[in-house]
């Protein structure tokens, strides 16, 4: 059966391509990547690629077109920067000119496992490995549906076409432009594949609230009892690691919707951070790096044996693996779960003062969702020499086109309706701040999360944290009791008190921007200082 849609590329203005490769699988895309000198094959069969100087999202280069249909719905500011329609139109013309005479790769995919809410997406690129990334990360259109496929949104992608900031109205050679009115996105000047994934996520984050669906930057899984759990968190906080738990079935690792039907995955694959990956700590993810079809991004390999070295961060601390979700053994095949019984919010607290696990009231969950706290540490960004508090509202501010209060209100309504239990889990530091303390052991965090999700922590006595009011369990199976109380893990108790006071103040200062959008219960839920 043909893998070509009758809705041709001429509908997007694409003409005179040297060749067009439609909906190719990994075999052809591997061949072309190697032929073009864009990647190599590792021991085990993964495709290994490098992204050059862009090894993560380029937040300063992302724009939303200021146009009539969406202007009044956008949370304009440093995250959602406007760009004029004429600048978008000129860049689109430049990209279409750039495509002429080049080999192009097209993937027609769905974003959204629930057919009631899924989005039809077409990605056109001149890079074969990026086409494989799209095929891994989203849901390929079944062969029987390809011919009649019509995209609702189109991405023109040209990773090695560069903008001129002086002419194009952008900030660098890289550009990510989203036009809701035209239902089109332009991405160029950066080879980092995550820009494609996050652009589609951003589009869904704009579209779905009007359809009664809460879009979430979270992972999700299901226990043997059939109850779903979701894990909010920023990059590096453990969403992928904790959701890929062999004792639970994985729905998805990064982006989901919460509708009246329950939770559903936006994607068909996973994009796992693999720096310092080990078989012992994360066996499910490690196994995927040995599979044909996996894309290893900025992972160093031995030039002779081609064995990956996941501890080598010389190319990027943000090294990644992209693979189809069915490379994880225990998954939910349809990517759909019921109403969540647990909502887990993950933070990597580099100050080392938040408890490793604590229960949240509904008001506290709203407070921490709007806050979206984690911390950057030295070495992750230029100029960062000590822990820096980072507040990314809704645990995903760069991907939220609408005002955070829109998403927070929907979350509050769903927690109230379902009675979901809420938890805050610190996967960051214990016994001291970054540089003095140590990173929380994955085994301990897994044990705490499992006990929370299966109900064992519900039987344990709790006491409020004196700085943040979070309810800390007095015991947890397979976890030393002293680990649960952050202050007891510090040798210098006065230093703990100082760091805790500083972080409490940062929370208070950050939340002032949201106070007018929440009730008194949420305002008072964030901090608690014992007399």
198 has catalytic annotation = yes
81 and 202 Cβ atoms separated by less than 8 Å: no
Element (H, E) at 84: none
**530: in domain:** no
β-bridge partners, 104:
20
**DSSP code per residue over 393-442:** GGG-GGG--S-HHHHHHHHHHHHHHHT-EEEEEE-SEESSSTTTSEEPPH
Catalytic residue among 12, 57, 118, 446: 57
Q: Do 379 and 481 lie in a common domain? A: yes
Catalytic residue among 197, 248, 320, 402: 320
Q: What is the CATH number of the domain that holds 32?
A: 3.40.449.10
217 and 208 Cβ atoms separated by less than 8 Å: no
Composition of the chain by helix, strand, coil, percent to 5 = 30, 25, 40
**446: in domain:** yes
* 185-199, 202-216, 234-248, 277-291: least confidently modelled range: 234-248
Catalytic residue among 191, 197, 217, 368: 217
Report if pTM > 0.85: yes
SS3 506: helix
Cα separation, 52 vs 472, in Å, equals 44
Give residue-wise pLDDT tens across range 87-121: 999 999 999 999 999 999 999 999 999 999 999 99
Query: DSSP letter at 231?
Result: E
87 has catalytic annotation = no
Q: What is the CATH number of the domain that holds 291?
A: 2.170.8.10
Catalytic residue among 33, 235, 392, 430: 235
Q: Do 91 and 146 lie in a common domain? A: yes
Q: Do 305 and 181 lie in a common domain? A: no
Give residue-wise pLDDT tens across range 252-300: 999 999 999 999 999 999 999 999 999 998 999 999 999 999 999 999 9
Catalytic residue among 254, 349, 363, 465: 254
**DSSP code per residue over 232-264:** E--TTSSHHHHHS-TTSEEEESSEEEEETTEEE
If one counts every other C-beta atom within 10 angstroms of the C-beta of residue 237, the result is 24
235 has catalytic annotation = yes
**4: in domain:** no
Whole domain around residue 150: which residue ranges? 9-38+57-211
217 has catalytic annotation = yes
**pLDDT at position 3:** 84
519 has catalytic annotation = no
Closest C-alpha to 158, from 182, 132, 179, 185: 185
239 has catalytic annotation = yes
Catalytic residue among 5, 219, 240, 489: 240
Cα separation, 373 vs 365, in Å, equals 12
Catalytic residue among 130, 239, 359, 414: 239
323 and 296 Cβ atoms separated by less than 8 Å: no
94 has catalytic annotation = no
Q: Do 389 and 515 lie in a common domain? A: yes
């Amino acid at each position: 059966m043909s893998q070509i849609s009758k809705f041709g590329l001429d509908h997007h203005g694409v003409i005179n391509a040297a060749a067009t490769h439609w909906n190719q699988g990994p075999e052809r895309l591997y061949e072309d990547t190697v032929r073009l000198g864009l990647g190599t094959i590792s021991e085990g069969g993964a495709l290994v690629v490098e992204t050059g100087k862009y090894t993560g999202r380029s937040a300063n280069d992302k724009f939303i077109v200021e146009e009539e249909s969406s202007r009044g719905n956008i949370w304009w500011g440093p995250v959602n920067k406007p760009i004029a329609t004429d600048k978008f139109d000129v860049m689109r013309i430049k990209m279409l000119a750039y495509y002429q005479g080049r080999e192009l790769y097209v993937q027609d995919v769905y974003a959204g496992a629930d057919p009631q809410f899924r989005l039809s997406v077409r990605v056109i690129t001149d890079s074969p490995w990026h086409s494989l990334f799209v095929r891994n990360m989203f849901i390929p259109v079944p062969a029987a549906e390809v011919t009649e496929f019509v995209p609702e949104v189109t991405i023109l992608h040209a990773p090695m076409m560069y903008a001129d900031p002086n002419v194009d109205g952008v900030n660098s050679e890289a550009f990510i432009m989203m036009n809701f009115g035209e239902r089109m996105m332009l991405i160029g000047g950066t080879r980092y594949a995550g820009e494609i994934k996050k652009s589609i996520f951003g589009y869904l984050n704009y579209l779905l609230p009007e359809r009664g669906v809460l879009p979430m930057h979270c992972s999700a899984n299901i226990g043997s009892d059939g109850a779903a759990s979701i894990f909010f968190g920023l990059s590096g906080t453990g969403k992928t690691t904790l959701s890929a738990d062999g004792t639970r079935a994985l729905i998805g690792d990064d982006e989901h919707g919460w509708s009246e039907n329950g939770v559903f995955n936006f994607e068909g694959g996973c994009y796992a951070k693999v720096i310092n990956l080990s078989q012992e700590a994360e066996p499910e993810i490690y196994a995927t790096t040995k599979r044909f079809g996996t894309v290893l991004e900025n992972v160093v390999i031995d030039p002779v044996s081609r064995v990956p070295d996941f501890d080598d961060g010389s190319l990027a601390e943000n090294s990644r693996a992209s693979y189809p979700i069915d490379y994880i053994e225990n998954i939910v095949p349809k990517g759909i779960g019921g109403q969540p019984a647990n909502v887990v919010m993950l933070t990597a607290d580099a100050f080392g003062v938040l408890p490793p696990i604590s229960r949240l009231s509904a008001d506290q969950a709203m407070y921490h969702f709007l806050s979206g706290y984690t911390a950057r540490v030295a070495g992750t960004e230029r100029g960062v020499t000590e822990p820096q508090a980072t507040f990314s509202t809704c645990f995903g501010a760069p991907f939220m086109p609408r005002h955070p209060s829109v998403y927070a209100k929907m979350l509050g309504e769903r927690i109230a309706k379902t009675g979901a239990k809420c938890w805050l889990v610190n996967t960051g530091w214990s016994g001291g701040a970054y540089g003095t303390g140590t990173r929380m052991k994955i085994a301990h965090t897994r044990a705490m999360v499992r006990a929370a999700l299966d109900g064992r922590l519900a039987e344990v006595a709790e006491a409020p944290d004196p700085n943040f009011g979070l309810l800390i369990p007095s015991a947890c199976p397979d976890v030393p009791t002293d680990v649960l109380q952050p202050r007891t893990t510090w040798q210098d108790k006065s230093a703990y008190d100082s760091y805790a006071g500083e972080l409490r103040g940062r929370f208070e200062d950050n939340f002032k921007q949201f106070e007018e959008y929440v009730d008194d219960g949420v305002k008072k839920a964030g901090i608690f200082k014992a007399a």
